[in-house]
Structure 1
Amino acid sequence: MKLAFVLTAALSLTGTVQACAYYKNCHCQNSDGMPNDEATEASCKKGHIRERTEMGVTFKECHYYQYFFFGYDALSNCKFRKRCKKNGASGEDSSCRDKQGKAHG
Protein backbone atom coordinates (compact mmCIF):
# COMPACT_ATOMS: atom_id res chain seq x y z
CA MET A 1 0.00 0.00 0.00
CA LYS A 2 2.82 2.40 0.84
CA LEU A 3 4.53 1.64 -2.48
CA ALA A 4 1.34 2.47 -4.40
CA PHE A 5 1.01 5.78 -2.53
CA VAL A 6 4.66 6.73 -3.10
CA LEU A 7 4.48 5.75 -6.77
CA THR A 8 1.25 7.68 -7.24
CA ALA A 9 2.77 10.79 -5.66
CA ALA A 10 5.98 10.53 -7.69
CA LEU A 11 4.23 9.94 -11.00
CA SER A 12 1.78 12.74 -10.32
CA LEU A 13 4.62 15.23 -9.98
CA THR A 14 6.33 14.29 -13.25
CA GLY A 15 3.95 16.00 -15.62
CA THR A 16 0.83 17.45 -14.10
CA VAL A 17 1.32 21.01 -15.27
CA GLN A 18 -1.72 22.06 -17.31
CA ALA A 19 0.19 24.43 -19.64
CA CYS A 20 0.83 23.10 -23.14
CA ALA A 21 4.42 22.11 -23.91
CA TYR A 22 6.35 19.52 -25.90
CA TYR A 23 7.91 16.39 -24.43
CA LYS A 24 9.80 13.33 -25.65
CA ASN A 25 7.84 10.89 -23.45
CA CYS A 26 4.24 10.68 -22.20
CA HIS A 27 1.90 8.11 -20.69
CA CYS A 28 -1.77 8.12 -19.69
CA GLN A 29 -2.88 7.93 -16.06
CA ASN A 30 -5.97 6.79 -14.22
CA SER A 31 -7.65 8.88 -11.52
CA ASP A 32 -5.55 7.10 -8.87
CA GLY A 33 -2.35 8.34 -10.57
CA MET A 34 -1.36 4.90 -11.82
CA PRO A 35 -0.36 4.43 -15.48
CA ASN A 36 -2.99 3.21 -17.96
CA ASP A 37 -1.11 1.08 -20.51
CA GLU A 38 -4.08 0.44 -22.81
CA ALA A 39 -4.90 4.15 -23.15
CA THR A 40 -1.21 4.98 -23.63
CA GLU A 41 -0.86 2.50 -26.49
CA ALA A 42 -4.05 3.77 -28.15
CA SER A 43 -2.96 7.42 -27.71
CA CYS A 44 0.53 6.97 -29.15
CA LYS A 45 -0.30 8.01 -32.73
CA LYS A 46 3.20 9.09 -33.67
CA GLY A 47 6.22 7.59 -32.05
CA HIS A 48 6.53 4.20 -30.44
CA ILE A 49 5.85 2.46 -27.14
CA ARG A 50 8.66 1.82 -24.68
CA GLU A 51 8.55 0.12 -21.32
CA ARG A 52 9.71 2.16 -18.33
CA THR A 53 10.16 1.10 -14.71
CA GLU A 54 9.85 3.55 -11.82
CA MET A 55 9.91 2.49 -8.18
CA GLY A 56 9.46 -1.16 -9.13
CA VAL A 57 6.42 -0.59 -11.37
CA THR A 58 6.78 -1.22 -15.11
CA PHE A 59 4.46 0.67 -17.45
CA LYS A 60 4.22 1.66 -21.11
CA GLU A 61 5.24 5.10 -22.31
CA CYS A 62 4.95 6.80 -25.72
CA HIS A 63 8.25 8.15 -27.07
CA TYR A 64 8.48 10.60 -29.98
CA TYR A 65 11.11 13.14 -30.94
CA GLN A 66 12.23 14.20 -34.40
CA TYR A 67 14.86 16.89 -35.01
CA PHE A 68 14.68 19.26 -37.99
CA PHE A 69 17.11 21.97 -39.11
CA PHE A 70 14.78 24.71 -37.81
CA GLY A 71 13.37 22.93 -34.76
CA TYR A 72 11.87 19.59 -33.82
CA ASP A 73 8.63 17.71 -33.40
CA ALA A 74 7.68 16.07 -30.11
CA LEU A 75 4.58 15.09 -28.11
CA SER A 76 2.22 17.89 -27.11
CA ASN A 77 1.07 17.19 -23.56
CA CYS A 78 -2.26 18.93 -24.26
CA LYS A 79 -3.02 16.79 -27.31
CA PHE A 80 -1.80 13.66 -25.55
CA ARG A 81 -4.02 14.40 -22.52
CA LYS A 82 -7.09 14.67 -24.79
CA ARG A 83 -6.25 11.40 -26.55
CA CYS A 84 -5.76 9.68 -23.17
CA LYS A 85 -9.23 10.71 -22.01
CA LYS A 86 -10.74 9.70 -25.37
CA ASN A 87 -9.07 6.29 -25.04
CA GLY A 88 -10.38 5.55 -21.55
CA ALA A 89 -7.86 7.00 -19.08
CA SER A 90 -9.71 8.36 -16.04
CA GLY A 91 -6.94 10.71 -14.85
CA GLU A 92 -7.19 14.49 -15.13
CA ASP A 93 -3.84 14.70 -16.93
CA SER A 94 -1.24 12.68 -18.77
CA SER A 95 2.26 12.33 -17.36
CA CYS A 96 5.07 13.64 -19.59
CA ARG A 97 8.83 13.99 -19.14
CA ASP A 98 11.87 15.29 -21.03
CA LYS A 99 10.41 18.71 -21.80
CA GLN A 100 11.67 20.38 -24.98
CA GLY A 101 11.92 24.00 -26.09
CA LYS A 102 10.00 25.51 -29.01
CA ALA A 103 8.68 22.99 -31.54
CA HIS A 104 8.96 23.16 -35.33
CA GLY A 105 5.91 24.60 -37.11
Structure 2
Amino acid sequence: ARFTRDTLRWLARRRPGVRFVWIMGADSLASFHRWKGSAEIMRLMPVAVIDRPGHTLSAPSARAARRFSAARIPESDASALPDMPPPAWVFLHGPRSHLSSTQIRDASRGGGEP
Protein backbone atom coordinates (compact mmCIF):
# COMPACT_ATOMS: atom_id res chain seq x y z
CA ALA A 1 0.00 0.00 0.00
CA ARG A 2 1.28 3.39 -0.91
CA PHE A 3 -0.53 5.52 1.65
CA THR A 4 -1.49 4.99 5.30
CA ARG A 5 -5.15 5.17 4.32
CA ASP A 6 -4.70 2.26 1.92
CA THR A 7 -2.92 0.15 4.55
CA LEU A 8 -5.66 0.80 7.09
CA ARG A 9 -8.38 -0.04 4.56
CA TRP A 10 -6.57 -3.31 3.81
CA LEU A 11 -6.27 -4.17 7.51
CA ALA A 12 -9.94 -3.44 8.18
CA ARG A 13 -11.00 -5.63 5.23
CA ARG A 14 -8.55 -8.40 6.06
CA ARG A 15 -9.47 -8.62 9.76
CA PRO A 16 -13.05 -7.33 10.13
CA GLY A 17 -13.42 -8.68 13.69
CA VAL A 18 -10.28 -6.97 15.02
CA ARG A 19 -10.67 -3.66 16.85
CA PHE A 20 -7.70 -1.73 15.51
CA VAL A 21 -6.46 1.57 16.92
CA TRP A 22 -4.11 3.53 14.73
CA ILE A 23 -1.28 5.17 16.66
CA MET A 24 0.38 8.35 15.46
CA GLY A 25 2.80 10.83 17.01
CA ALA A 26 1.70 14.34 17.88
CA ASP A 27 4.35 15.64 15.48
CA SER A 28 2.47 13.95 12.61
CA LEU A 29 -0.83 15.44 13.72
CA ALA A 30 0.46 18.91 12.85
CA SER A 31 0.52 18.05 9.12
CA PHE A 32 -2.12 15.31 9.16
CA HIS A 33 -4.67 17.46 7.30
CA ARG A 34 -2.32 17.30 4.28
CA TRP A 35 -2.14 13.49 4.27
CA LYS A 36 -3.94 11.64 1.49
CA GLY A 37 -7.27 10.53 2.96
CA SER A 38 -6.72 11.95 6.45
CA ALA A 39 -10.45 12.38 7.11
CA GLU A 40 -11.07 8.83 5.92
CA ILE A 41 -8.36 7.56 8.28
CA MET A 42 -10.20 9.18 11.19
CA ARG A 43 -13.39 7.43 10.08
CA LEU A 44 -11.77 4.01 9.49
CA MET A 45 -10.67 3.30 13.04
CA PRO A 46 -10.06 5.03 16.37
CA VAL A 47 -6.81 6.99 16.64
CA ALA A 48 -4.40 7.41 19.55
CA VAL A 49 -2.13 10.44 19.26
CA ILE A 50 1.02 10.08 21.36
CA ASP A 51 2.62 13.19 22.83
CA ARG A 52 6.02 14.04 21.32
CA PRO A 53 8.64 16.50 22.51
CA GLY A 54 7.79 20.01 21.40
CA HIS A 55 4.20 19.18 20.41
CA THR A 56 2.32 18.99 23.71
CA LEU A 57 0.74 22.40 23.31
CA SER A 58 0.50 22.62 19.51
CA ALA A 59 -1.07 19.22 18.76
CA PRO A 60 -4.53 19.95 20.19
CA SER A 61 -4.76 23.07 18.02
CA ALA A 62 -3.73 21.28 14.80
CA ARG A 63 -6.21 21.56 11.95
CA ALA A 64 -7.18 17.86 12.11
CA ALA A 65 -7.58 18.04 15.90
CA ARG A 66 -9.93 21.00 15.51
CA ARG A 67 -11.88 19.34 12.70
CA PHE A 68 -12.47 16.22 14.81
CA SER A 69 -12.66 17.95 18.20
CA ALA A 70 -16.14 16.50 18.88
CA ALA A 71 -14.68 12.99 18.48
CA ARG A 72 -11.88 13.52 21.01
CA ILE A 73 -12.25 11.53 24.20
CA PRO A 74 -10.63 12.31 27.55
CA GLU A 75 -7.30 10.65 28.22
CA SER A 76 -8.86 9.00 31.28
CA ASP A 77 -11.18 7.07 28.91
CA ALA A 78 -8.37 5.89 26.60
CA SER A 79 -8.81 2.22 27.54
CA ALA A 80 -12.27 2.33 25.92
CA LEU A 81 -10.89 3.60 22.59
CA PRO A 82 -10.70 0.18 20.86
CA ASP A 83 -14.41 -0.33 21.49
CA MET A 84 -15.49 3.08 20.23
CA PRO A 85 -16.84 3.59 16.73
CA PRO A 86 -14.77 5.98 14.64
CA PRO A 87 -14.25 8.80 14.48
CA ALA A 88 -12.84 8.68 17.99
CA TRP A 89 -9.43 9.79 19.12
CA VAL A 90 -7.40 10.52 22.21
CA PHE A 91 -4.29 12.53 22.98
CA LEU A 92 -2.01 10.54 25.29
CA HIS A 93 0.61 12.12 27.51
CA GLY A 94 3.44 10.18 29.04
CA PRO A 95 7.17 9.70 28.82
CA ARG A 96 8.34 11.34 25.60
CA SER A 97 11.10 10.28 23.30
CA HIS A 98 12.93 12.10 20.52
CA LEU A 99 13.29 8.78 18.67
CA SER A 100 11.18 8.31 15.58
CA SER A 101 9.28 5.09 14.92
CA THR A 102 11.73 4.45 12.06
CA GLN A 103 14.69 4.68 14.44
CA ILE A 104 13.01 2.29 16.88
CA ARG A 105 12.17 -0.22 14.11
CA ASP A 106 15.71 -0.05 12.68
CA ALA A 107 17.24 -0.68 16.10
CA SER A 108 14.93 -3.59 16.82
CA ARG A 109 15.80 -5.22 13.47
CA GLY A 110 19.44 -5.03 14.41
CA GLY A 111 18.78 -6.51 17.83
CA GLY A 112 19.99 -3.37 19.60
CA GLU A 113 18.46 -0.73 21.75
CA PRO A 114 17.28 2.50 20.11
What's the TM-score bracket when you normalise by the shorter of the two chains?
under 0.3
TM-score, normalised by the number of residues in structure 1: 0.24
Between Structure 1 and Structure 2, the one with more strand by share is 1
- The normalised TM-score by structure 2 is 0.23
The structure with the greater share of residues assigned to helix is 2
Which of structures 1 and 2 has the bigger CA Rg? 2
